[in-house]
Chains A and B, each alone.
Chain A
Amino acid sequence: MYAALWRVLPGPVWLRILFVLVLLAGVLVILSTWVFPWVDSIVNNQEATVGSP
């Protein structure tokens, strides 16, 4: 899977590494901006109250 991605990326190795870093950064931004807050809202594993709110 990742090997295929590596083959698809164009250019010399340094350019491919650059691509990978940019892709990773993009994935992290998407995760922390949309995916993780959404997961957090449904997982809700941080209860701080007594009784049932």
Chain B
Amino acid sequence: MRDRADLPATEETRRGRRRPRPRGRTGVAGVLGELLITAGVLVLLFLGWQLWWNDAVMAGSQSSAAAEISRTWIEQDRLARGHTAVPTPEPTGYGVPVVAAAPGPADAFAVLYVPRFGADYHRSIAEGIGLDVLNSPQLGIGHYPGTQMPGEVGNFAVAAHRSANGGGMHLIHQLQLGDPIYVQTSDGFYTYRFRDLEYVSPATVEVLDPVPHRPEASAVDRIITLTSCNPFYSTAERIIAYGVFESWQPTSAGAPAELATIIAAQAQG
């Protein structure tokens, strides 16, 4: 019991001032206790770092990297057209959407905009779902290799973190029917409309099928599928958000009205 009696004395010496030193040195249990408390504090610090600090830092760098890519594409298109004025966007009439070839591993080939996640939410989509993409300070969203590309008939499936590493899908469960999900590529802008959510086990790869859960069916619709982890701060389940393709317009036609506002805002700040 001597060791235990030593503990408060150690506390007092540490906190208080001008107290006489305790007799003898801190016992083994005292040192052990301090080490355990330190370990506990370190674990809490790590969680705080992972879920808030690093999440915010990564979100910031991924966001500006995506804005940079978006700017580059628009600028390239403007140069290609010899700086002619952007024509007034037409609501329809751009025909079948252009489908890009499958990109190389970790190539950032698209930018995702989901206004429901925040007006300034934009992230690069890169090929592959490894940590080199999902945990990258520049990327953040991974395209499942083998699933379709933006605008292609079938399923354009992507993954992002819900609550860490800047993935920013915190609010995926708040998507509402008809919410726009924009995908920008070097070719143009693809507008999807959110349809529904699904909660599945982590092994449910059928959500990636061209027609989700119907491996034998041949696809007619163009859909987008976002996958993230669920519940918040857990990996027990996956949350799946489906969207249906609505329209596309080439870069030369400019972004859809709402997206144009977002892009203009990010160009300023």
What residues of chain A have their CB less than 8 Å away from a CB belonging to chain B?
1-4, 6-7, 13, 28, 31-32, 36-37, 39-41, 44-51, 53
What residues of chain B have their CB less than 8 Å away from a CB belonging to chain A?
10, 13-14, 17, 21, 26, 30-31, 34-35, 42, 45-46, 49-50, 53-54, 129-131, 134-135, 142, 144, 159-165, 167, 169, 200, 202-205, 207-208, 227-229, 235, 238, 240
Asked whether, in the complex, the Cβ of B130 is within 8 Å of the Cβ of A6, the reply is no
List 21 A-B pairs, Cβ < 8 Å: A1-B30, A6-B13, A6-B14, A13-B17, A31-B42, A36-B46, A37-B54, A44-B131, A45-B235, A46-B50, A46-B165, A46-B235, A48-B159, A48-B229, A48-B238, A50-B205, A50-B207, A50-B238, A51-B202, A51-B204, A51-B208
CB distance from A41 to the nearest CB of B (A): 8
Interface residues of B: mostly helix, strand, loop or mixed? mixed
CB distance from A38 to the nearest CB of B (A): 11
Complex Cα distance A31/B14, Å?
24
Complex Cα distance A28/B88, Å?
53
- Find the A residue at minimum CB distance from B240: A50
Find chain A residues with CB under 8 A from B162 CB: 46, 48
Interface residues of A: mostly helix, strand, loop or mixed? helix
Find chain B residues with CB under 8 A from A4 CB: 26
Asked whether, in the complex, the Cβ of B167 is within 8 Å of the Cβ of A48, the reply is yes
Q: Which of A13, A28, A53 has the most CB of B within 10 A?
A: A53
